[in-house]
Amino acid sequence: MQVKVFESKDMATGLRMVKAELGPDALILSTKTIRSGKLGLLGKSHFEITAAIDSSWPHKGGKSLPVEDESHRDTLDSEREMLLSSHREHMTEDGLTYNSSSRLNGSSLSRESVSPVKKKEFIPEEQSPLQEEVNELKAMIKNLGQEMLRINRHQGGSTTGNDFKNSGTEDVPLHSLHQRLLDYGISEETAQTISSFAKESLTLDEISDPFKQQQFVATTINDLLRVRPDIFQENRRQHRIALVGPTGVGKTTTLAKIAASFLSNHSGSIGFITVDTYRIAAVEQLKVYGDIMNIPVEVVLNPEQLENALLKFRDKDLVLIDTAGRSPQDSFCIDELVSFFRPDFSIEKHLVLSATTRENELFNTFQRFSVLGIDHAIITKIDECTSLGLLLDIQIREQIPYSYITNGQRVPEDIIEADREVLTQLIMSPGKGLPYE
């Protein structure tokens, strides 16, 4: 048994590395996301894949493996068990399930022509003084979190919310700020970091002032959010946008809302493409929207048909692509979708997520769909949530800008372009919905 750990910038690249090194019959022991920096602030993430191959297996391609003697194989088997026990713990933390039968077979990753898609970094058009302050704020939060962790480890303590409850009476106003963040639905870890930053940034009198405390929280949340408010502001000949994500999050309805919003605010033509061949109802629903808005619809079954549809819509200003819902646990279906997004197609991928999804499942979805090279995130069904602190937690952990948020089924009313002030108000006003409904 040969065990090896691979590191890569994304899952697709990592799996190709495994296949090239160990062959298509390699056994995937674990996958893990490694992030740098406290809470992932300003830190980059990469993937770590632990894979193995038995020298007795017949290999189909890939590099030939050395023949090992029995004693060496026993040693590797022992190392494999140690790796398994260690990585199972990390996999549980990441919301992944170990499956000893999962193999890297040719059907799931035989498309060598598909290049990995890099996540696009959102860069503002100009670096304003406010943006410089934002960058400084993020760096301070990151450094503060690391320093707190170092001090706590040195003192033998732990960094939890109880630190505030057990501290002196001079920190009572800080308790109030910390509890305010928790009431917004913000995670304990994020609330701890922001509270610690407040302690370093504000005087006791400022923290004790309810107005200044709320103003500080609003400014901090606003500065940490990443949005792309107008995805059509770039002067491009054509915009191509695909909505991807799990089932039941409202991709088709959201696609129709984006189309209606584009027609209302921009002068241009649109084409619909659907690769959702699993649900006839979804295809028919998109055709109904197409008839209402006078938008042509193309149904495609494979990447070649998608290429032809894009060629047919080459004169359109906007091409919107609907996809079938994929279970985050079904890696084969997600890998299958990769083949539709060839780099030369220049398609933006917007991951659609429901605000009602549990936190662990949400982050697991981000991780599984990251193989597609997600450019933006769309949050739906915010009208069904009593708190939206998760909007901030997503940004801190994933650092993918929001493009839209939706709050109902009405087309085209229940959608707005992502805006930091609006998102901040949503987070700080639990259960009140959009500010200008």
Burial class (CB in 10 A: 0-12, 13-18, 19+), 48: middle
Rounded distance between C-alpha atoms, residue 46 and residue 248, angstroms: 29
Instruction: Provide the β-strand partners of residue 270.
Output: 318
Number of DSSP helices (H) and strands (E) in the chain, helices first: 15, 11
Closest residue by Cα to residue 366 from 10, 8, 5, 7: 10
pLDDT value for 45: 63
On whether both 413 and 390 belong to a single domain, the answer is yes
CB 240 within 8 A of CB 347: yes
Place of tokens 């946008």: 241
Q: Tell me if residue 35 falls in helix, strand or coil.
A: strand
Q: Looking at residue 238, what DSSP letter applies?
A: -
pLDDT value for 101: 37
On whether both 243 and 351 belong to a single domain, the answer is yes
pLDDT value for 233: 65
Angle (CA) 82-85-89 rounded to 5° is 140
**How many Cβ atoms sit within 10 Å of the Cβ of residue 96?**
20
> pLDDT truncated to tens, each residue of the chain (437 aa)?
677 888 887 777 877 788 888 887 776 666 666 655 544 444 556 777 877 776 554 444 444 334 444 444 454 444 444 444 444 444 444 444 334 333 333 333 333 333 444 444 444 444 445 455 545 555 555 555 555 555 444 544 444 444 444 444 456 678 888 898 999 999 888 898 888 888 888 888 888 888 998 999 999 999 999 888 666 665 667 899 999 988 888 888 899 999 988 888 877 899 999 986 666 666 788 888 888 889 999 999 889 999 999 999 999 999 999 987 766 666 677 778 888 988 989 999 999 999 888 888 888 888 888 888 999 999 998 888 888 888 899 888 888 899 999 887 787 778 888 889 999 999 998 655 555 44
CATH number of the domain to which 294 belongs: 3.40.50.300
On whether both 313 and 385 belong to a single domain, the answer is yes
Helices 188-201 & 210-224, crossing angle to 10 degrees?
120
pLDDT value for 320: 96
Residue 101 lies in a domain: no
On whether both 179 and 260 belong to a single domain, the answer is no
Residue 281 lies in a domain: yes
On whether both 383 and 265 belong to a single domain, the answer is yes
On whether both 186 and 326 belong to a single domain, the answer is no
On whether both 27 and 166 belong to a single domain, the answer is no
CB 282 within 8 A of CB 274: yes
pLDDT value for 272: 95
Which helix or strand (DSSP H or E) is residue 86 part of? helix 70-93
CB 53 within 8 A of CB 26: yes
pLDDT value for 298: 93
Residue 113 lies in a domain: no
Q: Tell me if residue 72 falls in helix, strand or coil.
A: helix
Residue 66 lies in a domain: yes
pLDDT value for 159: 43
Instruction: Provide the β-strand partners of residue 415.
Output: 406
On whether both 293 and 265 belong to a single domain, the answer is yes
Residue 105 lies in a domain: no
Going by C-beta distance under 8 Å and a sequence separation of 6 or more, which residues neighbour residue 87? Answer: 29, 30, 32, 50, 98
Domain interval for residue 254: 239-428
- Confidence (pTM): 0.61
pLDDT value for 73: 47
On whether both 210 and 349 belong to a single domain, the answer is no
Rounded distance between C-alpha atoms, residue 4 and residue 1, angstroms: 10
On whether both 310 and 213 belong to a single domain, the answer is no
On whether both 220 and 158 belong to a single domain, the answer is yes
pLDDT value for 243: 95
CB 23 within 8 A of CB 61: yes
Residue 436 lies in a domain: no
Please tell me the total count of domains within the chain: 3
